[in-house]
Amino acid sequence: MATQFLLVLSVMLLIQSHGGKGDDTPISRFQQYLRFKTAHPNPNYSAPISFLVEQAESMGLTTRTIEYVRGKPVLLVTWLGSNPKLPFILLNSHLDSVPAEADKWIHPPFSAHRTSDAGLIYARGSQDDKCIGVQYLESIRNLKSRAFLPLRTLHISYVPDEEIGGFDGMAKFAASSDFRELNVGFAMDEGQANPGDDFRVFFADRTPWELVIRAHGIPGHGAKLYDNGAMENLMKSVELISKFRDSQFDFVKAGKAANSEVISVNPVYLKARTPSNTGFVMNMQPSEAEAGYDLRLPPMADPDLMKKRIAQEWAPSIRNMTYTIKEKGKLRDHLGRPIMTATNGSNPWWAVFKQAVEATGGKLAKPEILASTTDARYIRTLGIPLLGFSPMINTPILLHDHNEFLKDTVFLKGIEVYESVISSLSSFEGVSAQMI
């Protein structure tokens, strides 16, 4: 405990020496948050949480730290609104980051070095997604300095483990009675950068499935032609799956759909052999063959139809095949609806959000489905509308990449955008009950 305390103290001293009291600005606070080593496999959660708590409490916000799994804290920051009867707003971000290979970076990944010419702040997590974690607080700081009072209560959550699936983080939090008590009516979570001029916004995630197909058959001499060999049966399926993959990809190539709007099916491994001391027995046809696929289904895909296709065409028992599907999330909510947030007149929050972004001179790109998966799915599954939004325009997409950076002016513009979004959402009187 004493060594831990000393460690925290020395980290704090180090931070102060990097950006002392004289340099206490939104940018220096962003840099401080970026310097915490939050990369897997050993993310430091306690130091960034202490920092956030200090920031939040210094501006009069209340904080609560909850641990659903030991060592994996969820931080909840609250700004009380004047009308507790209205459903609340939740702004989420994750504390953790993916690892970084330091030797492949121009500047160390946890130095938060800011270049003197272009103002680029290099750090793992600068785009994904420590930017929004700090922007939420900085925009509240500005709103408070203008004596703005929210009507709706606003919660900010900082969750662990998003980058490894969120099972011990948002999944547990979203399923808890604490979460139900928050009475969330509308939520926001991370989005992605855009090299272009428009802000990207995401209304759904794709759902990953891990599919393994296996073929069984009698083994045979390498010289023999016979029916129903395991390899032959597997290759038939591989061909069929490739055709399906092409049919989906054609929509993308023809410009009829975005990458994230189709079902992607990508082979990730093939396994078949009769082992020998030196490698493979070359004159044997093996009795078992297996292939693994990564599937990503957009919310409008029909999971039952997909399962039927797999059972009847890709791994049919009449060709001695079996399969397993590991569904890494749901496609339908508790009422059987596709898990997605409407971005039209049927969702009153959408218009409020859109106007708030436009009020800052920004323009929204066509709403998108995220090609991958975030913690947003755990909240949307509950039927709560959620938009993914990280305000970063004119910025290359560098999440999980070497040399992840965010330009200082882009970060500052994001605070302004969030001021507008938070003040609009928290003043909105239109929805008086959860739309679940």
Residues marked as catalytic: 96, 162
Close Cβ partners of 394 (under 8 Å, ≥ 6 residues apart): 194, 195, 196, 197, 407, 410
Close Cβ partners of 396 (under 8 Å, ≥ 6 residues apart): 193, 195
**Closest CB to Zn ion among 129 and 205?**
129
417 to 80, 140, 144, 199: CA distances (angstroms): 21, 12, 15, 10
Close Cβ partners of 61 (under 8 Å, ≥ 6 residues apart): 77, 78, 79, 140
Task: Write out the H or E segment, with its range, that includes residue 352.
Answer: helix 348-358
Binding site annotation covers 261? Answer: no
- H runs (alpha helix) in 254-347: 303-309
**Closest CB to Zn ion among 91 and 315?**
91
- Nearest residue relative to Zn ion (C-beta): 128
List residues bridging with 294 in a β-sheet: 210, 266
Candidate ranges 96-104, 129-137, 197-205, 245-253; the one touching Zn ion (CB under 5 A): 129-137
Least Å distance, CB 164 to Zn ion, is 11
**Closest CB to Zn ion among 187 and 272?**
187
Close Cβ partners of 113 (under 8 Å, ≥ 6 residues apart): 107, 121, 122, 123
Q: Is 189 in the site for Zn ion (CB under 5 A)?
A: no
282 to 39, 219, 287, 306: CA distances (angstroms): 45, 13, 14, 36
Q: Is 375 in the site for Zn ion (CB under 5 A)?
A: no
Binding site annotation covers 113? Answer: no
Least Å distance, CB 80 to Zn ion, is 28
Binding site annotation covers 107? Answer: no
**Closest CB to Zn ion among 81 and 133?**
133
Candidate ranges 120-128, 134-142, 302-310, 323-331; the one touching Zn ion (CB under 5 A): 120-128
Least Å distance, CB 128 to Zn ion, is 4
Binding site annotation covers 221? Answer: no
339: exposed, middle or buried (C-beta count within 10 Å: 0-12, 13-18, 19+)? buried
**Closest CB to Zn ion among 128 and 419?**
128
Site string for Zn ion, 315-334 (x = CB under 5 A): --------------------
Contact of 423 with 154, CB cutoff 8 Å: no
Phi–psi pair at 158, nearest 5 degrees: -120, 115
Q: Which of 128, 161, 168, 189 binds Zn ion (CB under 5 A)?
A: 128
Following DSSP, what letter does each residue of 73-123 receive, concatenated?
Answer: EEEEEEE--S-TTSPEEEEEEES-B----GGG-SS-TTS-EE-TTT-EEE-
Residue among 425, 370, 377 nearest 185 (CA): 425
Amino acid at 145: S
Least Å distance, CB 193 to Zn ion, is 12
Q: Is 129 in the site for Zn ion (CB under 5 A)?
A: yes
**Closest CB to Zn ion among 45 and 79?**
45
Residues 11-40 that bind Zn ion (CB under 5 A): none
Least Å distance, CB 162 to Zn ion, is 6
**Closest CB to Zn ion among 190 and 310?**
190
Least Å distance, CB 347 to Zn ion, is 24
Candidate ranges 51-59, 125-133, 315-323, 426-434; the one touching Zn ion (CB under 5 A): 125-133
Residues 70-99 that bind Zn ion (CB under 5 A): none
Q: For 246, what's the count of Cα atoms within 13 Å in the CB-facing half-sphere?
A: 6
- H runs (alpha helix) in 114-229: 130-145, 170-174, 177-181
Beta-carbon neighbour count of residue 258 at 10 Å?
A: 14
Binding site annotation covers 94? Answer: yes
DSSP state of 281: -
Candidate ranges 14-22, 98-106, 190-198, 271-279; the one touching Zn ion (CB under 5 A): 190-198
Least Å distance, CB 93 to Zn ion, is 8
Task: Return the structure tokens found at 172.
Answer: 């547990």
Task: Write out the H or E segment, with its range, that includes residue 236.
Answer: helix 230-253
Candidate ranges 100-108, 188-196, 321-329, 341-349; the one touching Zn ion (CB under 5 A): 188-196
What's the distance, Cα to Cα, between the start and end of the chain in Å?
45
Q: Applying CB under 5 A, what is the total number of residues that bind Zn ion?
A: 3
**Closest CB to Zn ion among 170 and 211?**
170
Least Å distance, CB 189 to Zn ion, is 9
Residues making contact with Zn ion (CB under 5 A) = 128-129, 190
**Residue ranges at the known binding site for Zn(2+):** 94, 128, 163, 190, 400
Where is the binding site, in residues? 94, 128, 163, 190, 400
